[in-house]
């Protein structure tokens, strides 16, 4: 690279053709001076592009090359390529990403040999293209694809003719026509910008890992963050959404010299598509939507922090996003540490139940619909078929699995693994077959088991059924008696039982029971100055443990009707719920009739403390608010469908959203309904737990609760966060509706943004705010079935998918219905206490 070599450029401002034209028409001469690049898509030696308006534009006006400053405060100048006719200004390539120009005197020119030079005001080269070949009459041309190529004027536009092309020097964007991987002697990968203001190379890269069988990986520095796996003829095995596409041809090329991924447009009118790795390391697949004039986000890699994340499950385990427990051992394997597995720590992975001996009779078990394990230490041969592949694997004792190396989609090719199988994932519909080696004794056992099952099926008789039922009945009666008896047992026995019930009772299980004395010491004997607040479930105190850790202790108020054992079991389950948007429950404490829950302490109090306070509202800028809405949505999605338990919160409200040091939201008080028991099902619901203003109609009126009643509460929260106003107690001069009614009225009148809190829009754009209002309204629909579920909400928030029109929300007016039908019951609401218990009106 000749980056800081200074040279004197010869600059001619007008091209030869233009100067000929001058003689005839002064008018167009002037035009050419003002906008000399107006139709040009190329520069030749002698011509140049100067900062301050000069650009070249590709045929069809799709891309433009020139100088720019990134958004924000940056004054640095870069030479780059961006979209022109749509999404104007979205930069796809930067030449001098590491060496910005400090003023607006940059100049791009081409030497007679066909080398592009970027010069600064002192005529020093700060960036240059390189080229092994040279041309007689070189020309640099910006193509319709966004590729800037240098070639001989007379040569056609094919890759082999290029002396240099910008597609060989990718920045953060992968476009159709580019190659990702190893091609013509180069490693081609995309890398994030340092920040939105600095196109310099950031930490995140996305490209092909050539070790073993080539696979697509996203990395931070040198460590893999997520792995899309090898190509299987249609898609990368770990890219769930990408499907064959009529407009683009996706392919993966693998031969002795090259291994690259490639997208080809089938015609020039294809929908614009790009992949971009952003500053946070997310790789987004974006498609230009003409209808909305926006980029639609179709698939984001690395966003799902669960199964997408590299090594979420350890070796020999598969991740399945649809399972209650994410990771499970593959057949014939068991957790290495049952204790960790129970605590939802899967990193240790699984081990074989019966080890391989490499003896006679070893064979394979088939796993369908898998994302293939990490191929970085695998072996392959593209000309072997599946049968030869199996033979080859069997013959080598250290071979643990095999499958097709189906890159071309022809179904042939052999891929072998040696050693551990890591980072597997299971899909409901896509994925590939994987054949995993099993010991002879295991296969034998399976065979016998299958045979026995068959015999059992055949030999089963009415007598057997009766007998079985009798035994079951007896067992059930005995079990019931034992249960009754058990609930009177003391805690010590329960704990002992708890340990015993675990499969691996020789391990030291950590039950999160915290001593009462520890708690009294930490909270200075529940001193009133340590009191953080009071809610429906009890009083919360701040405490500091002797090691300095700050905790929040919730002293549960009512005498729980639940037995001690049930209480501890529930706590055990809830302790395992872990998500960055949930407050972490550290443990519990039991003393006499008292029940206490111990949580991590959140320094920034709760959302209501900020959002409803005139003086503090502005701390929550729009970007933060959107982030909070997204966080709550993710936390709630985890509770509803991703966690091992399916939890309905039932008391979602601003005061139950706590904020950490960085103002990230964490949902608190989840699982309380389980801890309080008593109203688990619709049938025996006689009390409604919840808070005025957040309760869904069907819940308040009929006591029906479901995930959809949480969605209603979420919708109210969203509208409160956007407006900075409480739903309950909202007043307007124009009408008597509550906040929901107000939002609906503005929506119907076509001015939804007037709902938004009155403050500068900052970096959040208005359409984002409007989208939140739209989603908020969809969540507070009167009929539960009209409300989206949480995963839809998360998707709606993240992407540009079209939203349905909302209907009139539930509890539209100031809900006289609610006020009348509810009595203050056994727990009157006080000023400080937002949570209240309403008697069911039936
Ligand atoms: C131009 O680039 C050279 C080499 O990088 C550098 O030393 C010089 O300071 C730059 N001049 C200006 C005005 O930025
Ligand atoms: C850079 O080159 C231009 C054109 O040859 C010349 O006019 C200018 O004086 C040069 N600037 C410096 C600092 O050498
Ligand atoms: C696409 O457009 C370019 C420039 O107009 C043209 O050279 C090329 O042949 C077109 N390709 C197809 C497939 O239509
Ligand atoms: C791949 O397999 C074919 C067919 O079995 C064989 O002829 C060839 O030598 C193998 N190549 C390598 C590198 O093992
Ligand atoms: C088994 O495969 C490994 C890895 O390719 C190789 O190092 C080893 O020599 C092979 N062993 C036999 C017996 O072929
Ligand atoms: C190989 O890929 C093709 C599609 O590209 C698919 O139809 C076929 O089922 C695959 N074969 C195997 C054995 O996975």
Q: Among 391-405, 423-437, 692-706, where is mean pLDDT lowest?
A: 692-706
Nearest Cα residue to atom 9 of ligand 6? 411
In angstroms, the CA 168 to CA 806 distance is 48
In angstroms, the CA 579 to CA 326 distance is 13
Q: Which numbered ligand comes closest to the C-alpha of 101? A: 1
Is the minimum distance from the CB of 61 to ligand 3 under 6 angstroms?
A: no
What are the φ/ψ torsions at residue 318 (nearest 5 degrees)? -120, 145
Is the minimum distance from the CB of 417 to ligand 5 under 6 angstroms?
A: no
Sequence-distant (≥ 6) Cβ neighbours of residue 445 within 8 angstroms: 354
Is the minimum distance from the CB of 381 to ligand 4 under 6 angstroms?
A: yes
The two tokens of residue 720 are 């409160």
Give the chain's count of helices (H) and strands (E).
Answer: 18, 43
Ligand 2 centroid to residue 357 C-alpha, Å: 77
- Choose from 302-306, 681-685, 730-734 the range with maximum mean pLDDT: 730-734
Kindly give the number of the ligand 1 atom that is closest to the alpha carbon of 3: 5
pTM: 0.59
Sequence-distant (≥ 6) Cβ neighbours of residue 15 within 8 angstroms: 36, 40, 44, 46, 47
In angstroms, the CA 190 to CA 260 distance is 13
In angstroms, the CA 511 to CA 495 distance is 8
For residue 67, is pLDDT > 70?
Answer: yes
Residue of 1, 126, 127 with the most ligand 1 atoms within 8 Å of its CB, for mutation: 126
Residue of 255, 379, 381, 392 with the most ligand 4 atoms within 8 Å of its CB, for mutation: 381
DSSP letter string over 336-375? S-HHHHHTT--TT-EEESS-----TT-EEEEEEEEEPPP-
Is the minimum distance from the CB of 418 to ligand 5 under 6 angstroms?
A: yes
Q: Which helix (H) or strand (E) holds 542?
A: strand 538-544
Kindly give the number of the ligand 2 atom that is closest to the alpha carbon of 119: 1
Q: Which helix (H) or strand (E) holds 441?
A: helix 440-459
| Annotated binding residue 554 | yes
Provide Rg for the chain, Cα atoms.
Answer: 33
Task: Categorize the per-residue pLDDT at 133 as very low, low, confident or very high, splitting at 50, 70 and 90.
Answer: confident
Is residue 741 within 8 A of residue 780, CB to CB? The reply is no
Is residue 216 within 8 A of residue 261, CB to CB? The reply is yes
Is residue 84 within 8 A of residue 58, CB to CB? The reply is yes
In angstroms, the CA 36 to CA 28 distance is 10
* Tens of pLDDT, residues 73-121: 678 999 999 999 988 889 999 999 999 999 999 999 999 989 999 999 9
Question: In the chain, what are the domains?
Answer: 39-169 (2.90.10.10), 175-303 (no CATH), 317-438 (no CATH), 488-600 (3.30.200.20), 608-824 (1.10.510.10)
- Predicted local confidence at residue 415, as pLDDT: 94
Half-sphere CA count of 271, side-chain side, radius 13 A = 16
State the average pLDDT for the chain: 80
Is the model more confident about 270 or about 33? 270
- Predicted local confidence at residue 823, as pLDDT: 30
Nearest Cα to Cα of residue 166 among 156, 177, 155: 177
In angstroms, the CA 792 to CA 391 distance is 47
* Tens of pLDDT, residues 30-46: 333 333 434 489 999 98
β-pairing, 283-289 vs 190-195, is unpaired
Ligand 2 centroid to residue 46 C-alpha, Å: 15
In angstroms, the CA 532 to CA 581 distance is 21
In angstroms, the CA 409 to CA 192 distance is 31
Is the model more confident about 507 or about 474? 474
**pLDDT (mean) for 203-216:** 94
Is the minimum distance from the CB of 641 to ligand 2 under 6 angstroms?
A: no
**pLDDT (mean) for 245-252:** 79
- Predicted local confidence at residue 378, as pLDDT: 94
DSSP reduced 3-state for 666: strand
What region does 676 belong to: left with phi over 0, alpha with psi -120 to 50, or beta? alpha
Ligand 4 centroid to residue 383 C-alpha, Å: 6
- Choose from 460-474, 788-802, 809-823 the range with maximum mean pLDDT: 788-802
Q: Which numbered ligand comes closest to the C-alpha of 126? A: 1
Nearest Cα to Cα of residue 288 among 88, 469, 146, 34: 88
Q: Among 467-471, 724-728, 790-794, where is mean pLDDT lowest?
A: 467-471
In angstroms, the CA 38 to CA 533 distance is 67
Q: Please calculate the CA angle 168-169-175 and round it to the nearest 5 degrees.
A: 75
Task: Categorize the per-residue pLDDT at 193 as very low, low, confident or very high, splitting at 50, 70 and 90.
Answer: very high
Ligand 6 centroid to residue 230 C-alpha, Å: 13
* Tens of pLDDT, residues 703-718: 777 888 899 999 999 9
Ligand 2 centroid to residue 126 C-alpha, Å: 15
For residue 758, is pLDDT > 50?
Answer: yes
Nearest Cα residue to atom 8 of ligand 3? 268
Ligand 1 centroid to residue 270 C-alpha, Å: 42
DSSP reduced 3-state for 608: helix
3-state percent helix, strand, coil for the chain, nearest multiple of 5: 25, 25, 45
- Predicted local confidence at residue 763, as pLDDT: 65
- Predicted local confidence at residue 473, as pLDDT: 55
Nearest Cα to Cα of residue 777 among 785, 787, 768, 767: 787
**pLDDT (mean) for 392-421:** 89
- Predicted local confidence at residue 18, as pLDDT: 42
Instruction: Choose the catalytic residue: 209, 651, 669, 710.
Output: 651
Question: Directed axis angle between helix 622-637 and helix 790-798, to 10°?
Answer: 150
Is residue 207 within 8 A of residue 217, CB to CB? The reply is yes
Task: Categorize the per-residue pLDDT at 274 as very low, low, confident or very high, splitting at 50, 70 and 90.
Answer: very high
In angstroms, the CA 331 to CA 436 distance is 9
Chain centre to alpha carbon of residue 482: 46
DSSP letter for 813, please: B
Q: What is the 3-state secondary structure (H, E, C) of 676-744?
A: HCCCCCCCCCCEEEEECCCCCHHHHHHCCCCHHHHHHHHHHHHHHHHHCCCCCCCCCCCCCECHHHHHH
Kindly give the number of the ligand 5 atom that is closest to the alpha carbon of 418: 4
> CA distances (Å), 330 to each of 425, 694, 783, in order?
10, 43, 42
- Predicted local confidence at residue 466, as pLDDT: 52
Ligand 1 centroid to residue 11 C-alpha, Å: 19
Is the minimum distance from the CB of 9 to ligand 2 under 6 angstroms?
A: yes
Nearest Cα residue to atom 12 of ligand 4? 381
**Looking up tokens 């539930």, which residue turns up?**
810
Is the minimum distance from the CB of 290 to ligand 3 under 6 angstroms?
A: no
Is the minimum distance from the CB of 243 to ligand 6 under 6 angstroms?
A: no
In angstroms, the CA 597 to CA 541 distance is 11
Task: Categorize the per-residue pLDDT at 839 as very low, low, confident or very high, splitting at 50, 70 and 90.
Answer: very low
Is the minimum distance from the CB of 508 to ligand 3 under 6 angstroms?
A: no
- Cα dihedral across residues 295, 301, 302, 307: positive or negative: positive
DSSP reduced 3-state for 520: helix
Ligand 5 centroid to residue 396 C-alpha, Å: 6
DSSP letter string over 96-158? SSSS-BSSS--EEEE-TTS-EEEE-TT-BEEEE---SS--SSEEEEE-TTS-EEEEETTS-S-
Is the minimum distance from the CB of 501 to ligand 2 under 6 angstroms?
A: no
Tell me, yes or no, if 651 is annotated catalytic. yes
DSSP reduced 3-state for 839: strand
For residue 606, is pLDDT > 50?
Answer: yes
Q: Which numbered ligand comes closest to the C-alpha of 147? A: 3
* Tens of pLDDT, residues 568-586: 777 887 888 889 999 998 8
Nearest Cα residue to atom 5 of ligand 4? 384
Is the model more confident about 534 or about 544? 544
What are the φ/ψ torsions at residue 643 (nearest 5 degrees)? -85, 170
Chain centre to alpha carbon of residue 514: 35
Q: Which helix (H) or strand (E) holds 711?
A: helix 707-723
**pLDDT (mean) for 554-569:** 72
- What percent of the chain shows pLDDT beyond 90? 36
Task: Categorize the per-residue pLDDT at 773 as very low, low, confident or very high, splitting at 50, 70 and 90.
Answer: very high
Is the minimum distance from the CB of 398 to ligand 2 under 6 angstroms?
A: no
């Amino acid at each position: 690279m000749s980056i800081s070599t200074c040279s004197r450029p010869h600059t001619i401002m007008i091209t030869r053709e233009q100067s000929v034209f001058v003689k005839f028409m002064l008018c167009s001469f002037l035009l050419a001076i003002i906008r000399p690049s107006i139709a040009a898509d190329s520069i030749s030696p002698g011509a140049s592009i100067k900062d301050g308006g000069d650009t070249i534009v590709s045929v069809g006006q799709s891309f433009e090359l020139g100088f720019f400053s990134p958004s924000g405060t940056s004054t640095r100048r870069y030479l780059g390529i961006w979209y022109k006719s749509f999404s104007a200004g979205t930069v796809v390539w930067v030449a001098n990403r590491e060496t910005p120009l400090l003023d607006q005197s940059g100049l791009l020119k081409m030497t007679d040999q066909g080398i592009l030079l970027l010069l600064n005001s002192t005529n020093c080269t700060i960036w240059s293209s390189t080229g092994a070949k040279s041309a007689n009459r070189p020309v640099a041309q910006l193509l319709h694809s966004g590729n800037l190529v240098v070639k001989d004027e007379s040569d056609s536009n094919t890759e082999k003719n290029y002396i240099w092309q910008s597609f060989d020097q990718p920045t953060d964007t992968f476009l159709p026509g580019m190659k990702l991987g190893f091609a013509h002697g180069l490693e081609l990968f995309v890398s994030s910008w340092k920040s939105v203001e600095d196109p310099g190379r950031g930490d995140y890269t996305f490209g092909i890992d050539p070790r073993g069988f080539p696979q697509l990986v996203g990395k931070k520095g040198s460590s893999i963050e997520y792995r899309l796996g090898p190509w299987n003829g249609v898609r990368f095995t770990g890219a769930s959404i990408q499907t064959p596409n009529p407009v683009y041809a996706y392919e993966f090329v693998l031969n002795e010299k090259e291994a690259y991924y490639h997208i080809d447009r089938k015609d020039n009118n294809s929908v614009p598509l790009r992949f971009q790795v952003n500053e946070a390391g997310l790789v987004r697949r974006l498609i230009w939507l003409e209808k909305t004039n926006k980029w639609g986000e179709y698939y984001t890699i690395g966003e799902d922090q669960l199964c997408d994340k590299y090594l979420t499950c350890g070796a020999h385990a598969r991740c399945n996003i649809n399972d209650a427990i994410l990771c499970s051992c593959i057949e014939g394997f068991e957790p290495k540490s049952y204790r960790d597995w129970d605590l939802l720590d899967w990193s240790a992975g699984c081990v074989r139940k019966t080890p391989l001996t490499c003896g006679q009779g070893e064979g394979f078990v088939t796993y369908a619909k898998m994302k293939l394990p990490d191929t970085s230490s695998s072996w392959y041969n593209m000309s072997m078929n599946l049968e030869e592949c199996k033979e080859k694997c069997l013959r080598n004792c250290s071979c643990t699995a095999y499958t097709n190396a189906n890159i071309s989609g022809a179904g042939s090719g052999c891929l072998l693994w040696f050693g551990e199988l890591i980072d597997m994932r299971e899909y409901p519909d896509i994925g590939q077959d994987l054949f995993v080696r099993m010991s002879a004794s295991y296969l034998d056992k399976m065979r016998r088991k299958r045979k026995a099952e068959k015999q059992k099926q055949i030999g089963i008789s009415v007598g057997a059924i009766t007998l079985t039922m009798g035994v079951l009945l007896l067992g059930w009666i005995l079990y019931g008696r034992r249960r009754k008896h058990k609930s009177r047992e003391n805690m010590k026995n329960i704990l002992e039982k708890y340990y015993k019930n675990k499969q691996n009772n020789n391990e030291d299980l950590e039950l999160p029971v915290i001593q009462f004395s520890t708690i009294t010491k930490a909270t200075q004997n529940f001193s009133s100055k340590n009191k953080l607040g009071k809610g429906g479930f009890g009083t919360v105190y701040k405490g500091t443990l002797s090691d300095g850790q700050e905790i929040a202790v919730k002293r549960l108020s009512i005498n729980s009707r639940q037995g001690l054992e049930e209480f501890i079991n529930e706590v055990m389950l809830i302790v395992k719920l872990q998500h960055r948007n949930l407050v972490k429950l550290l443990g519990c404490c039991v003393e006499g009739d008292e029940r206490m829950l111990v949580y991590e302490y959140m320094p920034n109090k709760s959302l209501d403390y900020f959002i409803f306070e005139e003086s503090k509202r502005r701390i929550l800028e729009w970007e933060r608010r959107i982030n909070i809405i997204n966080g709550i949505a993710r936390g709630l999605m985890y509770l509803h469908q991703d966690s091992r338990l399916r939890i309905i919160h039932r008391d979602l409200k601003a005061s139950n959203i706590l904020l950490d040091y960085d103002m990230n939201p964490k949902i608190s008080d989840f699982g309380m309904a389980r801890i309080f028991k008593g109203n688990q099902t619709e049938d025996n619901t006689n009390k409604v737990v919840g808070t005025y203003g957040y309760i869904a109609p069907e819940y308040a009126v009929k006591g029906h609760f479901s995930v959809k009643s949480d969605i209603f509460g979420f919708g109210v929260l969203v509208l409160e966060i956007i407006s900075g106003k409480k739903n309950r107690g909202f007043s307007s001069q124009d009408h008597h509706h509550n906040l929901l009614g107000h939002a609906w009225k503005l929506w119907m009148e076509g001015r939804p943004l007037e709902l938004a809190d009155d403050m500068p829009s900052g970096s959040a754009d208005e359409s984002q705010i409007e989208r939140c209002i739209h989603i908020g309204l969809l969540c507070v629909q009167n009929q539960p079935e009209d409300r989206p579920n949480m995963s839809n909400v998360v998707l709606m928030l993240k992407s540009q998918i079209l939203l349905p029109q909302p209907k009139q929300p539930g509890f539209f007016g100031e809900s006289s219905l609610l006020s009348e039908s509810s009595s203050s019951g056994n727990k009157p609401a006080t000023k400080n206490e937002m949570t209240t218990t309403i008697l069911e009106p039936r």
